[in-house]
Structure 1
Amino acid sequence: MTINIAGLPRERIVFETSPLGELCLALHALAEPGHHPGLAGWVTATAAALRPDLADRLQEADFLWRTTFSDLFMPFAGLRGGAVSPGATLADELDLLDRLDDEQFVTTALEFSCLALYNEGGGTSPLTDRAARTRALEQAAARGPRQVEFTERLLKDPASVRAWVRRLFEDCDDAFFADIWQRVEPRLAADARHKTELLRRKGLREALADVSPALVLEDGGTRIRVDKLAEGRTTALDPAVGPGLTFVPSHFGWPHLMVLHRPAWRPVVHYPVGAHELPAPTSVDLLKLRLEALAHPVRMQVCRSTARTAHTTGELAGVLGISAPEVSRHLSVLKKAGLITARRRGRYVLYQLDVRAVARLSSEFLEGILR
């Protein structure tokens, strides 16, 4: 995923907190606790304390945060007229959400069934085009009855759904979010200040590295590449919405690193402020390399033999019943993937499986596909 920043003034790159964005990830953690094992205690306690009516209403719209991380939670990025910052409070950001016009609100809320509008940056609106409306309803039907009901309500009466959504978020604030935001906001604000100072003193490359190793400055500083399995491109210089790139820290975010790349919206990078003990994320390319390396049955046998003790190429050839050159080719693939270590003993080279690297594969795979 890439973000074009060629010619973007440094002052248009900002690090700021967003209570509405953090609410999105808190709701996601409640809906998908398996993504966030470190939050199990909070999820259990919060879910148990929810009023039944609020829990039911959250289920009605959980597709907005369970899988898609709806851009409705970043309304400041879609407002016209230059860079608009997130609100200082949840109420401020809900006011920004109210400023989106019906066209923006509907197409954003229907992201789960209008992906063509997002990825292709074109198409017609289901509010005004009968074919687009039919397509949105058909795609919602494939997702389930709750999505159909929500889509029908939204297309028929956007104003009432907008009021319903705002009230839902306000009730979440009363029920649990105000307390959690009061606890996490100081840390997030401190991180934003630190990144801002790093940007000022050492430049964007250093600031990006501090956000995540998955962010890399490329093409002479004109493009940011985000190492994700998802594909997309956006620009921080769209004249329709005004220049700007916003980085938003999150307490609830890990392992997700999200990039808002909706056409005609300013890009937003929503990044986790992780604990120091969390490992650096493995690149998607390395993850693919490791999975491909282990997909071959002979290399699986090499791993089995070298997991027990170190072997030379000749020893492995004898164990596996293949030629030494064949063993060398398989060892080369495993070494390139970082799964085999080599050490010299006299005139021999001993190869052994890096058990720790293999043990991390499941978590690396999960982190890579959820990033």
Structure 2
Amino acid sequence: MSVSIDISGLPLERIHVVPSPLAELGMALHALSETGHHPGLQGWATAVNARLDPCLADRLCEADFLWRTTFSDVFTPFAGLPGLNEIPGATLAEELDQLDKLTDEQFVDAALEFTCQSTYAEPDRKLLSDPAVQRRALDLAAARGPHQVRFTQRLLDDPPVVRAWFRTLMEDCDEAFFADTWARVRHQLAADARHKTELLRRKGLSEALKDVSGAVGVDEDERLITVDKMSVGRTTTGGGGLVLVPTSVGWPHLWVLHRKGWQASITYPISSPGLIAPPSVEQLTQRMAALAHPVRMRLCRHLARGAYTTSELADAHGMTAPEISRHVGVLKKAGLITTRRRGRYVQHQLDIGVVSRLGSDFIEGVLR
């Protein structure tokens, strides 16, 4: 499973690494509403939530589905502008101006992405002109709760009013807490963007993407970028560009904008408390499948206590050496055990470090 971006023919000068105040605000709102995704930010989230004006907190609850699951494409309006080669604005006000330049259809479709369970595979739903599509949107919103039905109805009835409401909400968030947050992190984000741009210019796309995340890579011909995620998607830069957006509050999320008709973009965390090179989705699947077998679970219990040969394991478990070898081979291929030679004996042992990280690796993988 992965999300891929076809960059055939894309010149390096149309690849930009640029911080985005609006995207950072979207990530910050997500971290405030889903602190479980961001354990390292719980102190910050608690402090911000404690000093939020109750009225602003209530207004945020009205539209928290725009950022609770992950953040909506409305936080990256540059990607929807004509030409598909725009970059984020330098200030929040500039990016909110970019948001105002989106068509009503674009704004409504992006805003209802999570409410109405839409997918990038159906970007031309005619939400503002087709009554049947509108009824379907309201039916889907009903399953998410009454406030989402109200929001959806308001959005379908009068997009400009909701757009103005959303802009005011973001401006009030900026005044309440985000201006201080942005002042603290923008220099770090700018430094990371300069570093990635320098890598891109001096060492090429492959090295720059490797520095973005171990989950992002490009093929040998540099025609296809692949982002290792537990989701499937595909887009192309076509005649547009590619924008890489650093975030200081995004870990463990690695977000790929692949909406049809919008510019491709990757929002990546600049720091991670986990591994530098997280396991791929394929490795996670392989490791969990390896541990799912009862015999291999018993072997792991044995190998967690010390190093043993295949013969010793066969005797202990009442199995033949070839049977044990097959199970050991599966565990070894999954990277769960280590093997060492002691004279003429080959001993196996459980890699406690890898197994102990499996839970956090899985969480990182599903949230990536």
**TM-score of Structure 1 vs Structure 2, range by shorter chain:** over 0.9
C-alpha separation in 2, matches of 1:124 and 1:103: 9
Matched, 1:183 2:180: no
Q: Which residue of 2 aligns with 1:217?
A: 218
| 1:121-157 CA distance string (max 9 Å, x none) | 4553121111111111111111111211110110011
Q: Which residue of 2 aligns with 1:107?
A: 109
Q: CA deviation at 1:309?
A: 1.2
Matched, 1:303 2:305: no
Q: CA deviation at 1:278?
A: 4.7
Aligned structure 1 segments of 4 or more residues deviating by more than 3 angstroms: 113-116, 275-279
Within 5 Å, which residues of 2 pair with 1:115-264? 115-116=117-118, 118-218=119-219, 220-237=221-238, 242-264=239-261
**CA spacing shift, 1:68–1:132, aligned 2, 3 Å:** farther
Q: Which residue of 2 aligns with 1:71?
A: 73
Q: Which residue of 1 aligns with 2:54?
A: 52
2:41 to 25, 30, 39: 39
Q: Which residue of 2 aligns with 1:291?
A: 288
Unaligned 5+ runs, structure 1 = none
Partner AA of 2:346 in structure 1: V
Q: Which residue of 1 aligns with 2:337?
A: 340
C-alpha separation in 2, matches of 1:273 and 1:84: 22
SS in 2 for 1:69: coil
Q: CA deviation at 1:339?
A: 0.4
- Paired residues of 2:337 and 2:350 also in contact (CA < 8 A): yes
Matched, 1:269 2:266: yes
Q: Kindly, what percent of the aligned residue pairs are identical?
A: 62
Matched, 1:313 2:279: no
- Paired residues of 2:336 and 2:354 also in contact (CA < 8 A): yes
| 1:196-247 CA distance string (max 9 Å, x none) | 111011110110011111111115110100001111001111xxxx411000
C-alpha separation in 2, matches of 1:147 and 1:75: 22
Partner AA of 1:170 in structure 2: E
C-alpha separation in 1, matches of 2:234 and 2:17: 21
**CA spacing shift, 1:178–1:159, aligned 2, 3 Å:** same
Matched, 1:2 2:4: yes
C-alpha separation in 1, matches of 2:324 and 2:198: 52
SS in 2 for 1:344: strand
Partner AA of 1:169 in structure 2: M
- Paired residues of 1:107 and 1:114 also in contact (CA < 8 A): no
C-alpha separation in 2, matches of 1:123 and 1:90: 28
**CA spacing shift, 1:276–1:293, aligned 2, 3 Å:** closer
- Paired residues of 2:83 and 2:240 also in contact (CA < 8 A): no
SS in 1 for 2:154: helix
Q: CA deviation at 1:114?
A: 4.3
- Paired residues of 2:189 and 2:246 also in contact (CA < 8 A): yes
SS in 2 for 1:360: helix
- Paired residues of 2:117 and 2:140 also in contact (CA < 8 A): no
Q: CA deviation at 1:177?
A: 0.2
Q: Which residue of 2 aligns with 1:359?
A: 356
| 1:105-131 CA distance string (max 9 Å, x none) | 001100014444x33145531211111
- Paired residues of 2:252 and 2:272 also in contact (CA < 8 A): no
Q: CA deviation at 1:195?
A: 0.6
Unaligned 5+ runs, structure 2 = none
Q: CA deviation at 1:277?
A: 6.7
SS in 1 for 2:169: helix
- Paired residues of 2:19 and 2:88 also in contact (CA < 8 A): yes
Q: CA deviation at 1:82?
A: 4.5
| 1:4-55 CA distance string (max 9 Å, x none) | 0000121110000100000000000000001111111101101101010111
| 1:291-322 CA distance string (max 9 Å, x none) | 00000000000000010111111111122122
- Paired residues of 2:253 and 2:269 also in contact (CA < 8 A): yes
- Paired residues of 1:121 and 1:262 also in contact (CA < 8 A): no
Q: Which residue of 1 aligns with 2:96?
A: 94
| 1:230-273 CA distance string (max 9 Å, x none) | 11001111xxxx41100000000100000000000001100000
- Paired residues of 1:68 and 1:111 also in contact (CA < 8 A): no
C-alpha separation in 1, matches of 2:99 and 2:300: 54
**CA spacing shift, 1:253–1:68, aligned 2, 3 Å:** closer
Q: CA deviation at 1:275?
A: 4.8
TM-score, normalised on structure 1?
0.96
- Paired residues of 1:195 and 1:210 also in contact (CA < 8 A): yes
**CA spacing shift, 1:297–1:196, aligned 2, 3 Å:** same
SS in 2 for 1:221: coil
Identify the structure with bigger relative contact order (alpha carbons < 8 Å, sequence gap 6+): 2
**CA spacing shift, 1:167–1:75, aligned 2, 3 Å:** same
| 1:304-356 CA distance string (max 9 Å, x none) | 00101111111111221221111100000000111011111122111110011
